[in-house]
Chains A and B, each alone.
Chain A
């Protein structure tokens, strides 16, 4: 039998991370898409870094930062009694950083693909930037939003390096599905690892398939 706990933990993490990312990525993507500031290049690069950085590098720095021996980790421990290293909270923060480009990228590309006239038309009708964003821009990039949500979700489920570095392997706390598979392989339990692997494979397949199906449907509704 497969132990369901690592899977439940993986999905819980993915839900929380995707929710946080959606809230955080919309303002970042909006700013990156429309600003003329030169800081755009710097922030854009930082947001994209997790795509190219080895997970172990990000994990290493986060581990240092979260450690109660470091300034930041000590501050959290002393003032809020929060310990992020080897905890679920630490996993959430690390995963948000690591999956950020998967949410920001599609939303930014979606916003940039909209004709400038849509925004201008809304402004000329006296509508604020915020109203324009929520009533005009976001509804017209629904497929980008779905892509961002699904990619971030799937990427968080599939994450391994970062969570291993800063989460470790504590059952019920930081033992995610991907870690469980690695653990089984290390202990030569190929049967259990195989079952978990195929389950993760099928789940990921379904998720990506959903992206394509939903995107097709959105394309249909806008031209009808």
Chain B
């Protein structure tokens, strides 16, 4: 279980804003922090990693306290009659057992791919781990190249492998798909899913793009205005009512065109591309990239058992 109860006042281009995160996340799952740009997702990751100090609150991962606000909180505790004097905890990034995949990968340019991985080994750790990850991430063909010569997708795989060398408890991924084109994005999702299947760690992924996360996430935390708006299973988070006579899907309009008297929108729902007929008025409010909800009455659906 990962318990996050934090507050932090952030300086942003639009002035000061406060971030107040309260959530308990299930361990061993692929969790996505979703929210628009600038909502504080990366700050949250940085506080989990220990690169940024929260103003107060606590972070507890699998029973171990990584951060607990000091003095101010301890004072309140004492007022309430707390016995122990709470001095506060703030583990260094080194002591937190995390893997961090940065948006810009942050591979070490002075080292080859292999050297990047070897650097991450802990003292006395067996080098088998490198071979295993090389295979899982399919890095064999460019182990001896320098990061500067790799494509975005290749760099991202190296960064993912490097973050896993140490066998972290918590893997943090900051917008891991944002720099990739659609095909690479799907492949990267598959790599992340294979990591998720293979290792018992908790993955915490940050994204502002709904279509890329619904497919992979076990659990979603939706941030809005610096607070948790909703959290839970992807389906539960993104549908308003739990049971209804309607099918509801959220998706993204990829293209919109006119065919004879109607308009046809190609909507990406999860992994599926669905063609949806719409009227001129509906079409006028849409454009490629719009996020839409597709609703249909469950009037006469086919149910077929899958083999």
Instruction: Determine, out of A23-31, A50-58, A120-128, A195-203, the stretch whose residues face the partner at the interface.
Output: A120-128
Chain-A contact segment, one of B28-36, B98-106, B252-260, B280-288: B98-106
Q: Does any Cβ of A come within 8 Å of B146's Cβ?
A: yes
Provided the pairs A222-B110, A222-B146, A224-B149 are in contact, do residues A123 and B94 lie with their beta carbons within 8 angstroms?
yes
Q: Are A136 and B110 neighbours in the complex by a CB distance under 8 Å?
A: yes
Residues of A within 8 A of B162 (CB): 121, 125
User: In the assembly, what is the distance between CA of A222 and CA of B146, in Å?
Assistant: 8
A121-B110 contact given A127-B94, A224-B146, CB 8 Å threshold: no
Is B39's beta carbon under 8 Å from chain A? no
Instruction: Evaluate contact between B166 and A125: CB separation under 8 angstroms.
Output: yes
**Interface residue tally for chain B (C-beta within 8 Å):** 27
Q: A139-B110, A223-B148, A224-B148 are in contact. Are A121 and B102 (CB under 8 A)?
A: yes
Q: Which of A121, A126, A127, A139 contacts B106 (CB 8 A)?
A: A121
Q: Is the CB of A124 within 8 A of B110?
A: no
Residue of B nearest to A139 (CB): B110
Distance between Cα atoms of A117 and B162 in the complex (Å): 14
In contact, B92 and A123 (Cβ under 8 angstroms): yes
Q: Tell me which residues from 51 to 108 in chain B have a Cβ below 8 Å from any Cβ of chain A.
A: 51, 92-94, 96, 98-100, 102, 104, 106-108
Asked if residues A120 and B100 are in contact (CB atoms below 8 Å), the reply is yes
- Kindly identify, within residues 122 to 181 of chain A, every residue whose CB is under 8 Å from any CB belonging to chain B: 122-128, 135-136, 139-140
A-side interface size class: 10 to 19
Q: Does A16 contact B (CB under 8 A)?
A: no
Interface string of B17-59 (1 = CB under 8 A from A): 0000000000000000000000000000000011100000000
Establish whether residues A140 and B108, one from each chain, have CB atoms under 8 Å apart when the complex forms. yes
User: Separation in Å of the A214 CB from the closest CB of chain B?
Assistant: 16
Contact A223 B149 (CB under 8 A): yes
Contacts of B108 in A (CB 8 A): 118, 121-122, 136, 140
- How close is A99's CB to chain B, nearest CB, in angstroms? 27
Q: Residue A115 at the B interface, CB < 8 A?
A: yes
User: Do B149 and A115 touch across chains, with their CB atoms under 8 A apart?
Assistant: no
Determine whether the beta carbon of B104 is less than 8 Å from that of A120. Answer: no
Which A residues are within 8 Å of any B CB, using their own CB? 115, 117-118, 120-128, 135-136, 139-140, 222-224
Q: Residues of B with Cβ closer than 8 Å to A?
A: 49-51, 92-94, 96, 98-100, 102, 104, 106-110, 119-120, 122, 146, 148-149, 162-163, 165-166
Apart from the given pairs A121-B102, A124-B100, A127-B94, 7 other A-B contacts in the complex at a CB distance below 8 Å: A117-B106, A121-B106, A121-B107, A123-B94, A127-B119, A222-B109, A224-B146
Q: List 23 A-B contacts (CB under 8 A).
A: A115-B106, A117-B104, A117-B106, A118-B106, A120-B51, A120-B100, A120-B102, A120-B106, A121-B106, A121-B162, A122-B108, A125-B119, A125-B120, A125-B163, A125-B165, A126-B122, A127-B119, A139-B110, A222-B109, A222-B146, A222-B148, A223-B146, A224-B149
